[in-house]
């Protein structure tokens, strides 16, 4: 049996249907408030997807990123070797 939180998440995501949907909605003490919270959660999700999506790197940016990562790794290795001496 699913917990309330699992059912809530499925409801917000639009994954409940039929009997399960009607039973869940009937169990809500204040359906209007729940609908408002659902709308807010969906709006927040869209905002986060839009604002926090990773941007695609161009070839030269990717190459530069790879070089910086390699150089940082070399500096860490050199620092560890210097401490051992």
pLDDT-derived band of residue 38, with 50, 70 and 90 as boundaries?
very high
Alpha carbons 77 and 37: distance in angstroms, whole number: 51
For residues 21 and 52, the model is more confident at 21
How confident is the model over 41-85, as pLDDT tens digits?
999 999 998 888 777 767 878 888 888 999 988 877 766 766 666
Q: What is the pTM of this model?
A: 0.57
Per domain, the residue ranges of the chain are 1-53, 55-85
Residue 67 CA neighbour count, 13 Å, CB half: 6
Alpha carbons 14 and 45: distance in angstroms, whole number: 14
Position 73 scores a pLDDT of: 86
Cβ-based neighbour number of residue 33 at 10 Å = 10
For residues 57 and 36, the model is more confident at 36
């Amino acid at each position: 049996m699913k917990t309330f939180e699992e059912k809530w998440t499925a409801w917000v995501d639009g994954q409940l249907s039929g009997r399960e949907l009607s039973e869940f909605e009937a169990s809500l003490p204040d359906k209007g408030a729940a609908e408002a919270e659902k709308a807010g959660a969906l709006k927040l999700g869209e905002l986060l997807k839009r604002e926090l999506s990773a941007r695609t790197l161009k070839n030269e940016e990717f190459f530069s990123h790879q070089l910086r990562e390699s150089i940082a790794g070399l500096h860490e290795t050199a620092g560890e070797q210097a401490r051992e001496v």
